[in-house]
Amino acid sequence: MATCAKFPIPRLPAPAYSAKRIKKMKTMEEKRELKKRLNKKRDQTRVYIGKAFSRWRQLRERYGLKSDEEVAMFLLDSYDQHCLTSTTRKRGSTHKLPAQPASGIYCSFSVIGPTS
């Protein structure tokens, strides 16, 4: 009669998570509070442009800008360039300025201050 050699039974691998690692499930109230807090933080960075939204999108497409952040930076840079150009013309400076964006960008810039 042939005897079979007994091999030890290998240990089972450890589970992917243990009881200590299990996160406490959030209640619906906790989820609502978290969402409310995150929305409040995100709302601080929002800018509402109302009726100008369609023009904003047209500008974005015309210049191939990929995000609203790029449009904002483009407009701010254009405004800064316009102010720099206006200031140097008034002072009679002769140094060269970088090329301006296409015409039509500087329709009219005005600064609206607080009313007293």
Instruction: Take residue 6 and report the two structure tokens written for it.
Output: 């007994």
Instruction: Take residue 20 and report the two structure tokens written for it.
Output: 């200590």
Question: Per-residue DSSP letters for 12-69?
Answer: PPPPSS-TTTPPPPPPHHHHHHHHHHHHHHHHTT----GGGHHHHHHHHHHTT--SHH
CA gap 54, 57 in Å, rounded: 5
Kindly list the domain boundaries of the chain, sorted by start residue.
66-91
CA gap 34, 25 in Å, rounded: 13
pLDDT of residue 3: 65
Q: From 72, 82, 84, select the one nearest 103 (Cα to Cα).
A: 82
Mean pLDDT value of segment 71-86 = 88
Q: Which residue has the higher pLDDT, 81 or 5?
A: 81
What are the tens digits of pLDDT across the range 21-69? 666 788 899 999 999 999 999 898 888 899 999 999 999 999 999 999 9
What is the percentage of the chain residues whose pLDDT exceeds 70?
A: 63
